[in-house]
Amino acid sequence: MAKRQQDFIRAMVAEDMKTGKYGGRVVTRFPPEPNGYLHIGHAKAICLDFGIAQENAGVCHLRFDDTNPESEDVKFVESIKEDVRWLGFDWGEKLFFASDYFERLYDFAIALVEADKAYVDSQSLQDIRRGRGTVTEAGTESPHRNRSVAENLDLFRRMRAGEFKDGEHVLRAKIDMAAKNMLMRDPVLYRIRHARHYRAGDAWCIYPLYDFTHCLSDVIEQITHSLCTLEFKDNRALYDWVLNAAAIEPPRPEQTEFARLNLDYTVLSKRKLVQVVEQGLVDGWDDPRMPTIAGLRRRGVTPEAIRTFCDMIGVARVDSRVDMEKLEYAIRDDLNKRVPRVMCVLRPLKVVILNYPEDQVEELDAPHYPRDVPQEGSRKVPFTRELYIERDDFMEDPPEKFFRLAPGREVRLRHAYLVKCVDVIKDDSGEITEIHCTYDPETKSGTAPDGRKVKGTVHWVSAAHSLPAEVRLYDRLFLKADPDDVAEGEDFTSNLNPDSKVVLTESRIEPSVADAPPGSRYQFERQGYFVSDVVDSSRDNLMFNRTVGLRDTWAKITVADSAEKGERRERGGRTAREGVTKPRQRTVADDRGASPKVAALTARFAGEFGLSDEQAKALAGDPTLATLFEEAVAVHDHPKTIASWIVGEVSRRLKEGEGKGLPFTGAQVAALVTLIDDGTISRTTAKDVFAEMSERGDHPVQIVERRGLRQLSDPKTIEPLVNKLVAENPDKAAQYRAGRTGLLGFFVGQVMKESGGRANPELVKEMVEARLS
Residues designated catalytic: 33, 260, 270
Q: Which amino acid is at 128?
A: I
Asked whether the beta carbons of 97 and 69 are under 8 A apart, the reply is: no
Q: Distance between CA 190 and CA 102 in Å, rounded? A: 11
Q: Distance between CA 405 and CA 412 in Å, rounded? A: 9
Asked whether the beta carbons of 349 and 391 are under 8 A apart, the reply is: yes
Residue 614 parent element (H or E): helix 613-620
Cβ atoms < 10 Å from Cβ of 514: 11
Among 265, 749, 647, residue whose Cα is nearest residue 484: 265
Look up residue 340 and give its DSSP letter: P
Q: Distance between CA 315 and CA 87 in Å, rounded? A: 18
Q: Distance between CA 214 and CA 771 in Å, rounded? A: 33
Q: Distance between CA 131 and CA 178 in Å, rounded? A: 11
Among 239, 204, 256, residue whose Cα is nearest residue 99: 204
Among 167, 182, 189, residue whose Cα is nearest residue 112: 189
Residue 63 parent element (H or E): strand 59-64
Q: Please give the backbone phi and psi of residue 230, each rounded to the nearest 5 degrees, phi first.
A: -65, -20
Q: Distance between CA 351 and CA 460 in Å, rounded? A: 9
Number of residues that this document lists for the chain: 773
Bridge partners, residue 64, by sequence? 97
Q: Please give the backbone phi and psi of residue 251, each rounded to the nearest 5 degrees, phi first.
A: -75, 135
User: Strand, helix or coil at 419?
Assistant: strand
Q: What is the dihedral of CA 266, 268, 273, 276, to 10 degrees?
A: -20
Q: Distance between CA 337 and CA 450 in Å, rounded? A: 36
Asked whether the beta carbons of 552 and 572 are under 8 A apart, the reply is: yes
Q: Distance between CA 317 and CA 407 in Å, rounded? A: 60
The 206-208 sheet, strands edge to edge: 118-121, 170-173, 188-192, 206-208
Asked whether the beta carbons of 188 and 171 are under 8 A apart, the reply is: yes
User: Strand, helix or coil at 420?
Assistant: strand
Q: Which amino acid is at 472?
A: R
Asked whether the beta carbons of 80 and 38 are under 8 A apart, the reply is: yes
Q: Distance between CA 578 and CA 333 in Å, rounded? A: 9
Q: Distance between CA 14 and CA 21 in Å, rounded? A: 10
Q: How far is CA 749 from CA 485, 488, 730, 744, 761, in A?
A: 15, 6, 16, 9, 9
Asked whether the beta carbons of 145 and 121 are under 8 A apart, the reply is: yes
Among 184, 186, 189, residue whose Cα is nearest residue 240: 184
Q: Which amino acid is at 480?
A: K
Helix axis angle, 623-635 to 613-620, nearest 10°:
110
User: Strand, helix or coil at 570?
Assistant: strand
Asked whether the beta carbons of 66 and 34 are under 8 A apart, the reply is: yes
